[in-house]
Amino acid sequence: MALEAAAPSGGAGRIKTTRVVSSHVTVPKRVVEIWRSRQLLFNLVGTEIRVKYKNSFLGLLWSLLAPAMTLIVYAVVFGVALKNGYPNFVLLLFSGLLGWNLFQTAVLTATGVIVNNAGLVKKVSFPREILALASVGSASVFFFFQSCVMVIFLVALHWRPAFGELWLIPVALVPLFVFASAMAIFLAAVNVYLRDTQHLIEVVVGSAWFWACPIVYSYQKVVHAGLADHHIPAWIYFLNPMTPIVMTFERVLYARTFVHLTTGSHPLAQLLPGWGPMTYVKLDALVLAVSLVLLYGAMVVFGRLAGNFAEEL
């Protein structure tokens, strides 16, 4: 990897930086290099957004329409056909999906990003992590669009989120970004050497992992009760770093612990755990700590593998 470090110049009176190209560049130095290339990161994200809906009639409107349409499908399936009886289930679902979609989009795009940008990687020098981070970046932009759709749904359905706990959203977003970045960087590098990764990830992240998160079902009503019946400790379910993040979103946006189901005699049911906000903060902090370790590990792996990207592609 190439890295830059400021060094005073003797030449034409301009600050010149010294770059060392070698196979041993430490993680902190690469972080500095990535920070220097942030402009490129923004440009790559911008490019991806622009190119995605290029030549389509509705253009960027699709990034609002697509999630809205998906939601309507889910709402019909679970509200009409499968009937789980959760009131305004579409909102519970969407609050969980917000964070999940960011993670899923970021990881799925990032896995193929080095391979798909082979031309760039072979011919131009820049910190390659930027490509993986750009996937997280563009996923964040779509997250923003989906949040707009969420607001529209909340207003349309006259649903009041927990305004007093809105600050929990950024608390959940920070570990989400770090965790998604760690996964993105790791998988992008590994996929160059093991092209199976892409297909495996499509199944794992696209499906299995999704169902392991309390998005389509309620944690309290389904998981908590189910685990207790089988005498399995609840922490096992929380080994999935996405669980606390998804649940934080649900806590803030769906905001109802006890609801009357819309089926049968409208019994009272507990959908979300009755934790105070600090419990969520603690859980998210734990995820953040784990994610930071993972991110460091991902950077080390990426650094090892990045040296031969240009040859492997």
Partner 1 sequence: MGTVAVDIQGVSKRFRLYHQKYMSLKERVIHAGRTPYTDLWALRDIAFEVNEGETVGILGRNGSGKSTLLKCVCGVLQPTEGQVVVRGKLAGLLELGAGFQPDLTGRQNIYLNGSLLGLAKSDIAKVFDEIVAFAELDQFIDNQVKFYSSGMYVRLGFAIAVNVDPDVLVIDEVLAVGDERFQRKCLDRVKEFQEQGRTIIFVSHSPDQVRAICDQAVVLSDGRMVGNGPPGEAVRIFREHLLEAGEILALGHADEEPAPSDLPAPVTSVETTDRLHPIRITEVTSVHPGTGERPYVITGEPLTITLNYTSAEPTTTASFVVEIRDSSSTVLLRTVSGDLGTQLDIPSGTGAVSFRYESFPFLDGVYDVSVGVEHRAGGQLYDWKEAAARVEVMNPTRTVGLVNLPVGVTLEVVTAGGYSVPVATGQAVGLPVEP
Tokens of 210: 């999704």
> Please, what's the b/e burial string for 278-294 (b: 16 or more CB within 10 A of its CB; e: otherwise)?
eebbebbeebbebbeeb
Residue 305 interacts with partner 1 (CB under 8 A): yes or no:
no
Angle at 85 between CA 83 and CA 90, to 5 degrees: 85
What character string, x for contact with partner 1 (CB under 8 A) and - otherwise, covers 51-90?
Answer: x--xx-----------------------------------
Q: Are 130 and 37 in contact (CB under 8 A)?
A: yes
Secondary structure (3-state) at 31: helix
- Please tell me whether residue 301 binds partner 1 under the rule CB under 8 A: no
By CB under 8 A, residue 19 contacts partner 1: yes
Contact 1, 37 (CB under 8 A): no
Cβ of residue 62: shortest distance to partner 1, in angstroms?
16
307 contacts partner 1 (rule: CB under 8 A): yes
Q: Applying CB under 8 A, does 47 fall inside the site for partner 1? A: yes
Q: Does 44 bind partner 1 (CB under 8 A)?
A: yes
CB-CB contact of 273 with 290 (8 Å) = no
What does the CA dihedral 80, 86, 90, 93 come to, rounded to 10 degrees? Answer: -120
- Shortest spacing between CB 297 and partner 1, in angstroms: 20
**Residues between 189 and 218 that touch partner 1 (CB under 8 A):** 193-196, 200
Q: Which stretch binds partner 1 (CB under 8 A): 2-10, 211-219, 243-251, 275-283?
A: 2-10
Q: Find the shortest distance in angstroms from Cβ 60 to partner 1.
A: 14
How many chain residues interact with partner 1 (CB under 8 A)?
46
Window contacting partner 1 (CB under 8 A); options: 45-53, 164-172, 244-252, 266-274 = 45-53
Question: Within 118-147, which residues bind partner 1 (CB under 8 A)?
Answer: 119-126
Interaction of residue 229 with partner 1, rule CB under 8 A:
no
Residues 6 or more apart whose CB falls under 8 angstroms from that of 151 comprise none
CA-nearest of 139, 290, 145 to 205 is 139
Those residues with Cβ within 8 angstroms of residue 205's Cβ, 6 or more apart along the chain or in another chain: 103, 104, 107, 108
- Which stretches of the chain bind partner 1, using CB under 8 A? 1-2, 7, 9-12, 14, 16-23, 36-37, 39-40, 42-44, 47, 50-51, 54-55, 119-126, 193-196, 200, 306-308, 310-311
